[in-house]
Amino acid sequence: LVNDLLMILPGLAPLCIPISKTGKQSRDFPKMVEAGFGSQNHILMFPAGLCSRRRNGKIEDIDWKKTFITKSVETKRDVVPIHFGGQNSNFFYRMANFSDRFLPFNLAMLFLVDEMYKNVHKTFRVSIGKPIPWQTFDKSKTPMEWAQFVKEQVYKL
């Protein structure tokens, strides 16, 4: 599940389910999501829905959405925590903070493709944690609380 602006990158489109961040969502979007979760393919999600932000000198995600928890339980799919140790440019983080504070839309997202191209041929640390069985996400916490629990596990990686 990715921002539809990233679909212009060669080779990415066949692997992704585009999420429209600038206009109307495709009528096929719910079907594509259900087909993705109903398949045997792995699903990568960015549970915050946005790129990380730099706040007080620290790069961190905003609160994660609960969708990956509810879909995990609904489709009986385990969650594999993955931490990607990359970072965007200072320009991107300044633009994101400006946009979040003063604009009614996410201007920084227009620079996502540029940020990806700036990192061609660079090396990143990717940490993969132990799978969390879908049965873990019981009624002892709300789906939102479970999402924050998984976020904490990812940040420990």
Token pair 């045997």 in the structure block, residue: 40
For a pLDDT cut of 70, what percent of the chain falls above it?
Answer: 97
Could you tell me which of 90, 55, 63, 85 has the C-alpha nearest to residue 147? 63
pLDDT attached to residue 23: 65
pLDDT attached to residue 123: 92
pLDDT attached to residue 72: 95
The C-alpha atoms of residue 99 and residue 103 are separated, in whole angstroms, by 5
> Sorting pLDDT into bands at 50, 70 and 90, what band is 22?
low
**Residue 75 three-state SS:** helix
**Residue 140 three-state SS:** coil
Token pair 């990715």 in the structure block, residue: 2
Which tokens go with 117? 């191209």
Tell me which of 11-20, 57-66, 78-87 is least confident.
11-20
The C-alpha atoms of residue 113 and residue 130 are separated, in whole angstroms, by 30
pLDDT at 90 over 90: yes
Task: Write down the pTM of the prediction.
Answer: 0.83
DSSP letter, residue 153: H
- In the chain, the largest separation of any two C-alpha atoms, in whole Å, equals 44
